[in-house]
């Protein structure tokens, strides 16, 4: 598929008004997307676990208006008007207008809510932008019902979500999604996420992700700014090669269910992401002292027990503790007894691998 394939030819029967609701999950990257080219094209492929509990629900209502050169929309979070969300959505509409040529023909009301607290330091851009993209795809499908396959619907939703936020294109389906061209992964694309096409061992079924909320404040450095700092970064080329290699290695790890090899790749990816931040110019550190305390405790506990828990990090201080279902009881007990003390107000979220967005 190319960009051209996502430009609709004509609509059979447009509606005057209507509304659609989607609930879309967040996702956690195993191989991390960090660095992008023009038009939201990633420098490297990434692979993620779709999450289950952390979700955004968005209801999009649309009513026909006089078409002019402006987008017309209002945004609400938990019932309250959120004008500070508008610039990001306006950019998203500008980037997607070619593919959704009806955007200026309607007034949109976007009503959204998250299952996780807004100020939890968990990015809502992946779940939020994917939910909005799915709602817009439902609008498009309602104009041309018979002709759209589910496969196209999901692919275009992912393609649109990417234009809102890169990580959002990986939140349409589950449970393992790859985004970005990788020579060993057939069908992988820079334009949208695809389901991981190879065998995955039962060890990875129902994998847990307990998210420890170390710092619930707003990020000091936005992801977009961070991605840009990879341009001309002294270690960028090596990092890009490493991400390709790590994804290649994971193919065998998933097939064999090799948890030790999994842990090594996942923790190395998390630390490399933060190493890129610390070695860019300007440099910055998003981890907090408690992030390091938690990592240290995880390493000690793993060494003492041989259990297969590991950590990963996003662009923030929160720690995602990943572990297999078969060891969940003991590991969760450890998390409660030893790690929760390092969370802000003792807050954490129990999540696990999930299966994608749902229409409500």
Residue 46 is a binding residue for ligand DP6 (CB under 6 A):
yes
Residue 49 is a binding residue for ligand DP6 (CB under 6 A):
no
Q: How many residues bind ligand DP6 (CB under 6 A)?
A: 17
Residue 227 is a binding residue for ligand DP6 (CB under 6 A):
yes
Q: What is the per-residue binding string for ligand DP6 in 105-144, x denoting contact by CB under 6 A?
A: ------------------x-x-------------------
C-beta of residue 42 within 8 angstroms of C-beta of residue 35: yes
As to burial, measured by CB atoms within 10 angstroms (0-12 exposed, 13-18 middle, 19+ buried), residue 205 is middle
C-beta of residue 211 within 8 angstroms of C-beta of residue 318: yes
Shortest Å distance, C-beta 213 to ligand DP6: 16
Residue 35 is a binding residue for ligand DP6 (CB under 6 A):
no
Residues 6+ apart with CB under 8 A from 197: 185, 186, 187
Applying CB under 6 A, among 34, 49, 108, 323 the residue interacting with ligand DP6 is: 34
26 or 344: CB nearest ligand DP6: 26
Applying CB under 6 A, among 314, 319, 354, 356 the residue interacting with ligand DP6 is: 314
- Please report, as residue ranges, which positions from 160 to 179 form the binding site for ligand DP6 (by CB under 6 A): 165-167
Alpha helices in the chain (DSSP H): 86-96, 125-143, 150-164, 223-228, 236-256, 259-278, 289-305, 328-334
- Please report, as residue ranges, which positions from 56 to 85 form the binding site for ligand DP6 (by CB under 6 A): none
Whole-angstrom Cα distance, residue 248 to residue 212?
Answer: 29
Shortest Å distance, C-beta 104 to ligand DP6: 24
Nearest to 106 by CA among 17, 21, 19, 7: 17
Residue 216 is a binding residue for ligand DP6 (CB under 6 A):
no
The answer to whether the bond into 317 is cis (omega within 30° of 0) is no
- Looking at the DSSP bridge assignments, the partners of residue 208 are 323, 352
Residues in the chain: 360
221 CA to centre of own chain: 18
Residue 29 is a binding residue for ligand DP6 (CB under 6 A):
yes
Shortest Å distance, C-beta 199 to ligand DP6: 23
Instruction: Give the strand pairing for 80-81 and 176-179.
Output: unpaired
Shortest Å distance, C-beta 225 to ligand DP6: 9
Shortest Å distance, C-beta 32 to ligand DP6: 4
Residue 286 is a binding residue for ligand DP6 (CB under 6 A):
no
Residue 223 is a binding residue for ligand DP6 (CB under 6 A):
yes
Instruction: Give the tokens for residue 350.
Output: 């129990």
Residue 351 is a binding residue for ligand DP6 (CB under 6 A):
no
Shortest Å distance, C-beta 27 to ligand DP6: 7
Shortest Å distance, C-beta 36 to ligand DP6: 6
106 or 316: CB nearest ligand DP6: 316
Residue 312 backbone phi and psi in degrees, to 5: -140, 165
As to burial, measured by CB atoms within 10 angstroms (0-12 exposed, 13-18 middle, 19+ buried), residue 287 is buried
Summarize as ranges the residues that interact with ligand DP6 (CB under 6 A): 29, 32-34, 40, 46, 123, 125, 165-167, 223-224, 227, 273, 314-315
């Amino acid at each position: 598929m190319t960009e051209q394939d996502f430009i609709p030819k004509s609509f059979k029967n447009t509606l005057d008004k209507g509304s659609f609701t989607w609930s879309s999950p967040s996702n956690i990257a195993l191989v991390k997307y960090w660095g992008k080219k023009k038009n939201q094209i990633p420098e490297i492929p990434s692979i993620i676990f779709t999450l289950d509990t952390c979700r955004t629900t968005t209801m999009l209502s649309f009513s026909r208006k006089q078409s002019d050169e402006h987008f017309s929309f209002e945004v609400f979070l938990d019932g309250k008007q959120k004008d500070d969300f508008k610039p990001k959505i306006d950019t998203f509409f500008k980037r997607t207008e070619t593919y959704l040529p009806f955007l200026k023909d309607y007034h949109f009301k976007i009503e959204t809510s998250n299952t996780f607290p807004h100020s939890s330091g968990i990015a809502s851009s992946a779940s939020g932008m994917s939910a909005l993209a799915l709602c817009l795809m439902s609008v498009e499908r309602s104009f041309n019902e018979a002709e759209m396959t589910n496969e196209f619907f999901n692919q275009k939703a992912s393609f649109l979500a990417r234009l809102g936020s890169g990580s959002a294109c990986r939140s349409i389906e589950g449970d393992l999604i790859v985004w970005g061209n990788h020579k060993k992964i057939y069908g992988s694309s820079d334009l949208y996420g695809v389901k991981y096409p190879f065998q995955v061992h039962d060890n990875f079924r129902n994998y847990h992700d307990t998210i420890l909320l170390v710092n619930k404040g707003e990020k000091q450095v936005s992801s977009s700014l961070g991605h840009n700092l990879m341009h001309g970064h002294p270690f960028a080329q090596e990092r890009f090669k490493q991400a390709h290699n790590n994804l290649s290695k994971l193919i065998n790890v998933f097939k064999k269910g090799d948890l030790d090899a999994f842990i090594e790749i996942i923790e190395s990816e998390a630390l490399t992401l933060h190493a890129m931040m610390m070695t860019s110019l300007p440099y910055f550190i998003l981890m907090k002292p408690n992030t390091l305390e938690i990592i240290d405790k995880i390493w000690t506990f793993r060494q003492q027990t041989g259990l297969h828990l590991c950590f990963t990090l996003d662009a923030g201080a929160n720690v995602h503790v990943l572990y297999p279902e078969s060891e969940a009881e003991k590991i969760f007990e450890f998390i409660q007894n030893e790690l929760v003390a390092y969370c802000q107000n003792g807050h954490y979220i129990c999540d696990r691998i999930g299966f994608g967005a749902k229409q409500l």
